[in-house]
Amino acid sequence: MTLTAVLCCAMVMSSCSKDDKGNNDVPDTTPASAKVTFVIHVNPDMLQCMDLTAEFMDVDGNVQSEKVTSLAWSKSMSFTKFPAKLGARLHLAKKSGVNYAEVSNAQVGAVITRSFSISNKAGSLLNSATGEEYSFTATWLSGDDLVKYIEDEGENFTSLLLEYDAKGKETQGTWKD
């Protein structure tokens, strides 16, 4: 009977001392990589009567620019460092060769959208958003009013700043110098 009691105690103690550290049932929620795509949508009148330049900031803080020549400009960036900060913005400038006195009712408006996906080390998707729609606000301008608008509002006409914390949570803001 004593031997049975010792064996029972040994079995109970061995089952209680198992270590759960090796449990692979817990999903890995640590972000390891991400891809972000910015899209700047502009009104067709803008392409006709002004020069448009898109600037983008990568996760290393490098700022680059590209001329916008179509109704939708896009830039995709991938990164593996968290936290991370990225941005996109649009600049307007007077276009050479345009007689602004003859421009009547040009619609000026632009919006920046973004999509993103964040994955863990194994490549499993942790978070994503695609094709979010933002309101597109436009203003109708003519002649001197259009020139004044470009001069007053053209620098950083619209911008979007994205910040991702160490857990991959996104915060949106405005990219300002």
pLDDT tens, position by position, 77-134: 999 999 999 999 999 999 999 999 999 999 999 999 999 999 999 999 999 988 666 6
Where does the pLDDT of residue 31 fall: very low under 50, low under 70, confident under 90, or very high at 90 and above?
A: very high
Q: Render 80-126 in DSSP notation, one character per residue.
A: --SSEEEEEEEEEEEPTT--GGG--SEEEEEEEEEEEEEE-TT--EE
pLDDT of residue 133: 61
Q: Which two tokens stand for residue 49?
A: 């009567």
More confident residue, 36 or 132: 36
pLDDT of residue 7: 42
| Tokens 């597109």 found at | 136
The mean pLDDT value for 43-64 works out to 96
| Tokens 């978070």 found at | 127
What does the buried/exposed string (b/e) look like for 58-77 if buried means 16 or more CB atoms within 10 Å of the residue's CB? bbeeeeeeeebeeeebebeb
pLDDT digits (tens, 9 = 90+) for 146-169: 999 999 999 999 999 999 999 999
pLDDT of residue 177: 79
pLDDT of residue 135: 62
